[in-house]
Amino acid sequence: MSLSLNSSDKSAQLLQEFVKGNETFQQTYFKKHEEQLLNLVQNGQNPRALFIGCSDSRVIPDLIVQTRPGDLFVIRNVGNFVAPYKPDEDFHSTAAGIEYAVAVLEVSEIIICGHSHCGAIEALYNPTCDTTMVHTAKWLTLGEKAKSMAMIALGENAPREELLRATEQLSVVTQIENLLTYPYVKKLAEEEKLFIHGWYYDIETGAIEYYDPEIFQFRPLSELGE
């Protein structure tokens, strides 16, 4: 196998932007926070929370909650989905991240964060005929339960945007259900040594809502600080 470094003018321009960005990072942020960053090298990471978010380029965990390097252990995937626990020896990227965060890093919080205008959720309502996207098609089935719940709650003929927003939020809830199929997660949660949170990020306003299981609704995250 060969790896070509040749690129078009457009690609070269983009790469140059990345080069300049890294130089700026080294000269500004890294230099200003060098002591803190080197401390993370010497003493290792000790994040308090695992953040499971979407791969969507518009949703940046550290940016939306203004955390520092070392604060969050982050897993990002298409749709911020969590596959149910499956104890086999196949490749399970998200499951491996959960396992490491809980068993090794001993995080005390797990946040599953969905967001508005999610492409994965929208794809549930626009099934593709592209048979080459086998991995994507399989992965998206993890959102089907949320879709069914939204259509039952609102009706199949409900306005499309209402269905999408409802499905995005309900998916957060169903992914929490999947997370609790992991025996070690469920055990620690029942012992109140691990706390699980469902969040919903509105990319149009920057606001975050949290899922309140007592009233089965999402409420402004700001209420938690009151």
Predicted local confidence at residue 85, as pLDDT: 98
How do residues 24-59 score in pLDDT, each as one tens digit?
A: 999 999 999 999 999 999 999 999 999 999 999 999
The model's pLDDT over 156-195, given as tens digits with 9 standing for 90+, comes to: 899 999 999 999 999 999 999 999 999 999 999 999 999 9
Residue among 56, 62, 165, 219 flagged as catalytic: 56
Note the helical H segments in 71-143.
Answer: 93-103, 119-124, 134-140
Decide if 63 contacts 51 (C-beta within 8 A). Answer: no
- Rounded CA gap, 19 and 22, in Å? 5
Q: Taking Cα atoms as reference points, which of 182, 164, 223 lies closest to residue 199?
A: 223
pTM to 2 decimal places? 0.93
Who contacts 150 (Cβ-Cβ below 8 Å, separation ≥6)?
Answer: 163, 166, 167, 170
**Mean pLDDT value across the chain:** 94
Q: Which of 9, 58, 92, 165 is catalytic?
A: 58
Annotated catalytic, 197?
no
**Which of the following is catalytic: 9, 48, 54, 160?**
54
Backbone angles phi, psi at 158, to 5 degrees: -65, 155
- Render pLDDT for 92-139 as a digit per residue (tens, 0 to 9): 999 999 999 999 999 999 999 999 999 999 999 987 767 788 999 999
d(CA 197, CA 210) in angstroms, rounded, equals 7
Q: Average pLDDT in the 4-11 region? A: 71
9 classed as catalytic: no
Cβ count within 10 A of residue 158: 13
- The residue whose two tokens read 């990020």 is 201
Distance, in Å, from the CA atom of 31 to the CA atom of 22, rounded to the nearest integer, reads 12
Q: What percent of the chain has pLDDT over 70?
A: 95
212 is catalytic: no
Residue of 33, 115, 129, 212 marked active site: 115
Catalytic-labelled residue, pool 117, 118, 202, 212: 118
Q: What is the pLDDT of residues 126-150, one digit of tens each?
A: 877 677 889 999 999 999 999 999 9
pLDDT tens by residue, 54-91: 999 999 999 999 999 999 999 999 999 999 999 998 99
- Residue 206: per-residue pLDDT: 97
Do the beta carbons of residue 170 and residue 183 sit within 8 Å? no
pLDDT at 127: 75
